[in-house]
Amino acid sequence: MSDFIGALWQYAFIQNAVLAGVLSSFACGMTGVYVVVKRITFISGGIAHAVLGGIGIAYYLGLDPLLGAVITALFSAFLLGMINLTARQHEDTVIGALWAVGMAVGIIFITLTPGYSVDLMSFLFGNILMVTKPVLWLLLLLDLIILLLVVVFYRQFLLVCYDEEYARLRGLPVKFLYILLLALIALTVVVLIKVVGLIMVIALLTLPAAVAGLFTHNLRQMMVSATGLSLLFILAGLVISYNLNLPSGATIVIIAGLCYLGAIGFRKLVLKIRRRKEIAFDGGGE
């Protein structure tokens, strides 16, 4: 730990990594809650993986890969939103197709690009230690957009997630809200690509929110807790990976996974103890 703090003072790239961690936890704390309560993990995974297509094309054209990522993420969100709202029966098949075809497109364009493409691995598995200043500004901008949308549409998103049919009856623009929600997820995916890579994005989108959901009673609390937990997972992962010289993205995901398992076990235990107490109480009342 002291090693890490020393390095934090000394090296700008460590400072950038910590800042990237903070900015990412806001994005996945807020959006992840919707992914978990609306149960759209698979859709989110589809968006995340399809993004590689955009990254590959941007590479080939000599553009900024993150720009390609933003455009493809939003495009996939729109496409999947329309499919969900029109052809429900085949939804999972279409998501699977988009998932794999997006990756295939990305791999082909990256291979076609002349030169040494070392960055492919960092998009797949993330590298929080390579985050630069301009990327931090981009993360901040995406965070602000996500925060603004969540605050403005808080009640409407809640109803659409909770009871779509009732939302329609209340006259809410359900299609628009659903696609907007997927767009939020798309932006979050782009934020998280730098931290854990697109293959492991799904872990940070779901696990902190899932742990938070075990112990909270409304969406606001759940978002605050999920943001705190994401920050904890990312920073702990950074420190451990730095000290043990492990890949940071994978370390973060393993910590998040272990905490999720631990939280489920803890909750089961609490419920069991509470039930036993109730039985003892009933028995004593004879």
- Binding of another protein by 197 (CB under 8 A): no
Question: Tokens representing 159?
Answer: 């109803």
**How many residues form the binding site for another protein (CB under 8 A)?**
30
> Torsion angle of alpha carbons 220, 223, 228, 234, nearest 10°?
-170
CB within 8 A of 4, min separation 6: which ones? 14, 238, 239, 242, 243
Residue selected from 219, 238, 253, 263 as contacting another protein according to rule CB under 8 A? 219
- Please tell me the distance from the alpha carbon of residue 174 to that of residue 172, in angstroms, as a whole number: 6
Residues 254 and 260: their CA atoms lie apart, in Å, by: 10
148 lies in the site for another protein, by CB under 8 A? no
Compute the Cα dihedral for 95, 175, 141, 66 and give only its sign: positive
Single out the residue of 134, 173, 257, 265 in contact with another protein (rule: CB under 8 A): 173
| Residue 145 within binding range of another protein, rule CB under 8 A | no
Which residue number, 141 or 152, has a Cβ lying nearer to another protein?
Answer: 152
Residue whose structure tokens are 């109803």? 159
Q: Examine residue 85 and tell whether it contacts another protein (CB under 8 A).
A: no
Q: How far is the CB of 267 from another protein (least distance, A)?
A: 12
- 206 belongs to the binding site for another protein (CB under 8 A): no
User: Contact between 171 and another protein (CB under 8 A)?
Assistant: yes
Structure tokens at 226: 């999920």
Q: Which of 101, 112, 169, 246 binds another protein (CB under 8 A)?
A: 169
If one asks whether residue 153 binds another protein (CB under 8 A), the answer comes out as: yes
**Could you say which of 19, 37, 63, 240 contacts another protein (CB under 8 A)?**
37
Question: Cα(99)–Cα(108) distance, rounded to whole angstroms?
Answer: 15
